[in-house]
Amino acid sequence: MKQLSRPEHDPLEVFLRCVAEVTNEAERKVYVDNTNEIVQSVIDFEGATAATNWHTLPRVGRGHPEVIVRGTLTKGALVDLYGKYLVGGSEARELYDSLLVSSDGKCPFCGGIGQVHTLDHYLPKSNFPVYSVHPDNLVPCCRDCNSGKMNAFATTQGEQSLHPYLDAPKFFSERWVVATVCRTDPITVEFSCSPPEGWPDVDKLRAKSHFDQYQLARRYSIQAGAELARVIDLRKKSLKVLEPMQFAAYLAENAQTDAYDLNGWNRTMYWALQRSLWFCVADLNEPATYLPLGEVA
């Protein structure tokens, strides 16, 4: 997972720039007349952010675009702010594009497995339409993370996935994704969530919720497969001259590089490899030398 700088755009300014794109005067007047309602929703969001309990913010059910959400603003009108005016507008579109490129093309939810394709509503606009154009609620996201996450937002604090803009630095600077190197043929790596013991229980739950919601165990293992095959091939060829301790040091260098996210699949894989004594000493040309008894073909 990758931490991103919080957007510098003022939420009310973004709202008003989207409203300025509305060509129908009567519709635009409804938005303008409810400016104070938007101001209050921004205050509510700040309060939820301070307590990391966004799940307590008022939500509406799916469908029913005519339902009133804030003041005289309907759900449909609030959702339109995003689709018609932030995404489909002209000047407001510049704000959308600036958010889209803020992560250098790497999806922060999955640690850069996927390339950014769209903006994800951390609080789904179908349930929290008043935040459809709130910049803190719009996170660069890959297609898989955007389409694969749960449709409904968490109902408890522990179920909330991690927020790349707003969550505590420890979620990004401390290890909570671990891996195990499996003595199989071919060798595989399995990933799991294991937050530090000293973390509060709710933070452990949130890390696990994020790990499960974005299906990181499966997706990380897929990514690790090709890289592990490359490492094994190198060990059989150019790295075969290294003693086990030297090979472990080579793996450790990859586990410590800042080029990868700490809890991303690559650093975590190398972290597990360099900690695996059997892998570092194994003759990788001969599976029989490292496979458990009874598993040798």
Residue-wise pLDDT tens digits, 209-253: 999 999 999 999 999 999 999 999 999 999 999 999 999 999 999
| pLDDT tier at 295, thresholds 50, 70, 90 | low
Residues 180 and 46 in one domain: no
Question: Is the residue at 89 inside a domain?
Answer: yes
Residue-range definition of the domain harbouring residue 235: 171-289
pLDDT in tens, 30-65: 999 999 999 999 999 999 999 999 999 999 988 889
Residue 294 within any structural domain of the chain: no
Number of domains forming the structure of the chain: 2
- The residue among 158, 190, 211 that closes a domain is 158
Q: What are phi and psi of 280, to 5 degrees?
A: -70, -30
Question: Are both 251 and 211 inside the same structural domain?
Answer: yes
What is residue 151's predicted lDDT score, i.e. its pLDDT? 67
Mean pLDDT, the chain, integer: 94
**Residue 47 in domain:** yes
Percent of the chain with pLDDT over 70: 98
Residue 153 lies in a domain: yes
Model confidence band, residue 297 (pLDDT cutoffs 50, 70, 90)? very low
pTM: 0.92
- Tokens 């293992």: give the residue: 221
Within this chain, do residues 136 and 185 fall inside the same structural domain, yes or no? no
Residue 34 lies in a domain: yes
pLDDT band at 147, cuts 50/70/90? confident
Q: What are the phi and psi torsion angles at 214 (to 5°)?
A: -100, 15
Last residue of a domain, one of 126, 158, 190: 158
pLDDT band at 296 (very low <50, low <70, confident <90, very high): very low
* Size (the chain), residues: 297
CA neighbor of 180 nearest in space, from 78, 268, 49: 268
Q: Write out pLDDT tens, residues 54-110.
A: 999 999 988 889 999 999 999 999 999 999 999 998 889 999 999 999 999 999 999
In this structure, are 99 and 220 located in the same domain? Answer: no
Q: Tell me what the mean pLDDT of segment 141-167 comes to.
A: 90
Percent of the chain with pLDDT over 90: 87
Predicted local confidence at residue 62, as pLDDT: 85
Q: How many CB atoms lie within 10 A of CB 51?
A: 9
Distance (Å, whole) CA 201 – CA 122: 22
Whole-angstrom Cα distance, residue 73 to residue 29? 11
CA distance 45 to 61: 19
Residues 153 and 210 in one domain: no
Q: DSSP assignment of 243-255, as one string?
A: -HHHHHHHHHHHH
- Do 92 and 211 belong to one domain? no
Query: 132, 158, 184 — which closes off a domain?
Result: 158
Q: Which of 10, 60, 16 is nearest to 35 (CA)?
A: 16
236 is a domain residue: yes
Q: Is residue 4 part of a domain?
A: no
Q: What are phi and psi of 236, to 5 degrees?
A: -75, -20
